[in-house]
Amino acid sequence: MNLHPLFVHGVHWPELLVIVIRVVVGFAALMGAVVMMIWFERKVISDMQARIGPNRAGPFGLLQTLADGIKLFFKEDLVPEEADRFVFKLAPLLSLVPAIVAFAIVPVGGVMSVAGHRFTLQIADPPIGILLLLAMSSISVYGVMLAGWSSGSKYPLLGSVRASAQMISYEAAMGMSVVMVVLLAGTLSTRGIVDAQSSTFFASWYFVRTGVVPFFIFLVAVTAETNRPPFDLVEADSELVGGFNTEYSSLRFALFYMAEFMNTITMSAVIVTLFLGGPDGPTPHVMVLNQLVPVAWFLGKTLLFLFAYVWFRAALPRLRYDQLMDLGWKVLIPLSLVWTLIVAGGLVAGWWVVGLAVALVVGAGLLYRAVVVGHWRVDAGIFPDAPDAPPVSRRQRGALAGRWVSPPATATAGATSGAAVAVGVAPGANAPLGAEPTATTDAGAARSAPDGSGRGGGS
Amino acid sequence: MGEYLPILVLIVLGLLFAGLSFAASALLGPRRRPTSAKVAPYECGIVPDVEPPQRFPVRFYLVAMIFIIFDIEIVFLYPWAVIFRQLQTFGLVEVLVFAVVVFVTFLYLVSNGALDWGPAKRLERADTKRTTSSTVSRVPGGPPGEPSSGHEAA
């Protein structure tokens, strides 16, 4: 039987004890933070909406979350008849456990030495640190997806299908902006990333050194990844009741709720770790203070982002699904791809940055063109690359040049099939691919104008 | 390997927490048999008569497939990023070529509308015969001064 290296020469109880204490303390702190975060969000958002918010349980309603949690213990635990019982019960665990584990890699403070033992203020510091975070955020997609699918109900299913598409879309951009940080740090360990940023205050943080853009990409991607507003289409209350967790009650619902807030906290802490130097900040060189002040710095910076998340929720309206996907795919992913190259170029030589910046502009132009062509093709229903595309003869195209043709007979009957015929012969069909139909006819212009304003926002 | 042990302990702790919570919930919660209305899929009070959809727009699957391209690209980028300081220009040029290939693929996808959402718009030409005078029917003997045109076939 293979033993853990720690146990090869007999079990080292002190080491094991230190690990268990570290984990239990970290877990308790995270749980406490979740309870406080729920209260914080409710209180801040009620202030922003000119309400009072929770104020009954405990001073300032601080114990409201606990009261709610205890109440949920006493509620009936329902499993809908249509549900896939095993998956239905598994899903909350798949949501909660990755949320807990992801927090393990966050460095909360500097190196501490207590009674001769030196240890870092962080639950675990594996050499693959940041990959563990990405892995956990990928697994949490399963929690949401399986919860919705196993419920056997419409709204959760819709919510979960949206969720999985949304979460994987933004995961790409998120992963790419992490690559930029790894490029500069040269290590995947979160401790290493934090140490690499700690030479001078602010100027040495990756927020500045990666050129600000990756920070914003990461912030947006993480907001979408954790399904926080304005990207909360997963649980869009006004259209999907409660989204993927509609059918969940009692404690299973509580676990989802907890996982969501845990993810928010973890991700705020990860932003601080990756871009704002983690616990880095001016520290007095006094015995105890030099170990406590970094923790305070870390908590302060994290609180900033927790507040920002609540602020987003209060201030920003929810995105439409196509806007969400456009932002993720057509802005964040290409931008992060090119910016990765720019950051890498900056590490080699200055003129690479200039060259790649030109490439960024050219790429943006090409992408814009591709988006226009894409919209035109989808609207016109013409896909010359599709294997089963209906042939459009040259003569036919010539006859339709720049004209909006009403299909014979059927259109006057008002049948919708007549409209389907019209789809095949859009204006400008004989123009080179990508020609904007906007300028060809009045009808084309009238059709394209609202379309362009509606979708153009993302590009 | 010592640094992975805390993660294992944390997973165990998380499962333990969830397990104990479920146990507590089972002990404390009401144990009545749920009624048929309770276990029915929730639809805001409407009795559900349609099964949840089994088929979904193909775009969701398309996005999943496109995602895999990018995910694989990112998987390649991590080891590259870690040892980039040793690779220098060689590493940059190599990933540049790789990125160009991925980007061209991406442009192809976008230009085919693979990432466009929402239904394709129906193109309907307005019927020139249909005007306000042909579609708006006026009440015979309406306001004085206006001739009542009655119905006109479109």
A316-332 pLDDT, tens digit each:
888 888 888 888 888 89
Count of alpha carbons within 13 angstroms of residue A372, beta-carbon side: 14
| Whether A424 contacts A381, CB under 8 Å | yes
Tokens of A77: 């635990």
Residue in A closest to B70 by C-alpha? A172
Alpha-carbon span A132 to A140, nearest angstrom: 12
Residue in B closest to A422 by C-alpha? B123
Which of B33, B50, B123 is most worth mutating to test chain A (most A CB atoms within 10 A of its CB)? B123
Alpha-carbon span A13 to A18, nearest angstrom: 9
- Tell me if residue A150 falls in helix, strand or coil: helix
Which of B1, B3, B66, B129 is most worth mutating to test chain A (most A CB atoms within 10 A of its CB)? B3
Query: What local confidence, expressed as pLDDT, does residue A138 receive?
Result: 86
DSSP state, residue B78: H
Which amino acid is present at A296?
Answer: A
Alpha-carbon span A84 to A150, nearest angstrom: 5
DSSP state, residue A350: H
Report the run of H or E that residue B104 belongs to, with start and end.
helix B89-111
Q: Which residues pair with A114 in a beta bridge?
A: A117
Alpha-carbon span A133 to A139, nearest angstrom: 10
Report the run of H or E that residue A91 belongs to, with start and end.
helix A85-102
Alpha-carbon span B8 to B68, nearest angstrom: 28
| Nearest CA-CA distance, residue A50 and chain B, Å | 29
| Residue from A76, A61, A90 nearest A151 by CA | A90
Between B135 and B124, name the one with better pLDDT: B135
Tokens of A137: 């955020």
Count of alpha carbons within 13 angstroms of residue A444, beta-carbon side: 20
Residues of B in contact with A354 (CB under 8 A): none
Indicate the pLDDT class of residue B153, thresholds 50, 70 and 90: very low
Min mean pLDDT across A3-17, A67-81, A222-236, A386-400 is at A386-400
| Whether A324 contacts A231, CB under 8 Å | yes
Contacts 24+ apart (CB under 8 A), A235-243: A235/A159, A236/A159, A236/A318, A240/A155, A240/A156, A240/A158, A240/A159, A241/A155, A241/B42, A241/B44, A242/A155, A242/A159, A243/A148, A243/A155, A243/A156, A243/A159, A243/A160, A243/A163
Which amino acid is present at A252?
Answer: R
Indicate the pLDDT class of residue A303, thresholds 50, 70 and 90: very high
pLDDT at B152 over 90: no
Which range is most confident: A449-453, B66-70, B147-151?
B66-70
Query: What local confidence, expressed as pLDDT, does residue A424 receive?
Result: 37
Residues 134-153 of B with CB under 8 A from A: none
Contact B18 A255 (CB under 8 A): yes
Alpha-carbon span B1 to B22, nearest angstrom: 32
Which of A93, A97, A361 is most worth mutating to test chain B (most B CB atoms within 10 A of its CB)? A97
Min mean pLDDT across A25-29, A105-109, A454-458, B19-23 is at A454-458
Q: Indicate the residue of B67, B102, B118 with minimum beta-carbon distance to A169.
A: B67
B130 and chain A in contact, CB less than 8 A: no
Contact A329 B117 (CB under 8 A): no
Which amino acid is present at B31?
Answer: R
Contact A124 B126 (CB under 8 A): no
Contact B121 A447 (CB under 8 A): yes
Contact A374 B127 (CB under 8 A): no
Indicate the pLDDT class of residue A199, thresholds 50, 70 and 90: confident
Which of B31, B42, B100 is most worth mutating to test chain A (most A CB atoms within 10 A of its CB)? B42
Contact A416 B122 (CB under 8 A): yes
Domains of chain B: 12-45+56-111 (1.20.58)
Kindly list the domain boundaries of chain A, sorted by start residue.
13-348, 368-409+418-458
Residues of A in contact with B102 (CB under 8 A): 337
Alpha-carbon span A427 to A407, nearest angstrom: 13
B32 and chain A in contact, CB less than 8 A: yes
DSSP state, residue A117: E
| Residue from A34, A154, A29, A209 nearest A104 by CA | A29
Q: Indicate the residue of B4, B117, B120 with minimum beta-carbon distance to A322.
A: B117
Q: Average pLDDT for residues B14-39, to the nearest whole number? A: 83
Q: Average pLDDT for residues A358-386, to the nearest whole number? A: 81
Query: What local confidence, expressed as pLDDT, does residue A409 receive?
Result: 40
pLDDT (tens digit per residue) in A220-235: 999 998 888 888 877 7
Count of alpha carbons within 13 angstroms of residue A353, beta-carbon side: 8
Q: Indicate the residue of A241, A411, A434 with minimum beta-carbon distance to B42.
A: A241
| Nearest CA-CA distance, residue B98 and chain A, Å | 11
CA dihedral A387, A393, A399, A403 (to 10 degrees): 0
Residues of A in contact with B17 (CB under 8 A): 27
Between A347 and A459, name the one with better pLDDT: A347
Report the run of H or E that residue A376 belongs to, with start and end.
helix A350-380
Q: Indicate the residue of B48, B92, B120 with minimum beta-carbon distance to A379.
A: B120
Alpha-carbon span A451 to A459, nearest angstrom: 13
Residues of A in contact with B38 (CB under 8 A): 76, 78
Alpha-carbon span A78 to A87, nearest angstrom: 14
Q: Average pLDDT for residues A76-99, to the nearest whole number? A: 86
| Nearest CA-CA distance, residue B138 and chain A, Å | 23
Question: CB burial class (10 A; 0-12, 13-18, 19+) of residue A46?
Answer: middle
**Strand ranges in A101-247 using DSSP code E only, listed in sequence order:** 111-114, 117-120
b/e map A5-36, b = 16+ CB within 10 Å: eeeeeeeeeeeeeebeebbeebbeebeebbbe
Tokens of A33: 């933070």
| Residue from A331, A354, A332 nearest A341 by CA | A354
Tokens of B127: 């019927």
Q: Indicate the residue of B10, B111, B127 with minimum beta-carbon distance to A370.
A: B111
| Residue from A77, A93, A80 nearest B28 by CA | A77
Which amino acid is present at A253?
Answer: F
**B147 cis-preceded (ω within 30 degrees of 0):** no
Residues of A in contact with B39 (CB under 8 A): 78-81
Alpha-carbon span A150 to A89, nearest angstrom: 9
Between A65 and A112, name the one with better pLDDT: A65
b/e map A171-182, b = 16+ CB within 10 Å: bbbbbbbbbbbb
pLDDT at B144 over 50: yes
Question: CB burial class (10 A; 0-12, 13-18, 19+) of residue A139?
Answer: middle
Which of A75, A106, A145, A182 is most worth mutating to test chain B (most B CB atoms within 10 A of its CB)? A182
pLDDT at B18 over 70: yes
| Whether B21 contacts A255, CB under 8 Å | yes
Query: What local confidence, expressed as pLDDT, does residue A220 receive?
Result: 93
Contact A383 B113 (CB under 8 A): yes
Alpha-carbon span B127 to A53, nearest angstrom: 56
Tokens of A325: 């996907």
Tokens of B138: 């006026």
pLDDT (tens digit per residue) in A261-286: 999 999 999 999 999 888 888 888 77
pLDDT at A449 over 50: no
Residues 54-113 of B with CB under 8 A from A: 56, 60, 63-64, 66-67, 70-71, 74, 77-78, 81-85, 88-89, 91-92, 95-96, 99, 102-103, 106-108, 110-113
Alpha-carbon span B14 to B144, nearest angstrom: 81
pLDDT at B19 over 80: yes
Q: What percent of chain A has pLDDT over 70?
A: 79
Residue that has been written with the tokens 């507040």 in this structure: A307
How many A×B Cβ pairs under 8 Å?
273
| Residue from B134, B42, B79 nearest A253 by CA | B42
- Tell me if residue A120 falls in helix, strand or coil: strand
Q: What percent of chain A has pLDDT over 90?
A: 16
pLDDT at A141 over 90: no
pLDDT (tens digit per residue) in B66-110: 888 888 888 888 999 999 888 888 989 998 999 898 889 888 888
Question: CB burial class (10 A; 0-12, 13-18, 19+) of residue A441?
Answer: middle
Residues of A in contact with B85 (CB under 8 A): 186, 347
Which amino acid is present at A310?
Answer: V
Residue in A closest to B72 by C-alpha? A172
Alpha-carbon span B10 to A98, nearest angstrom: 10
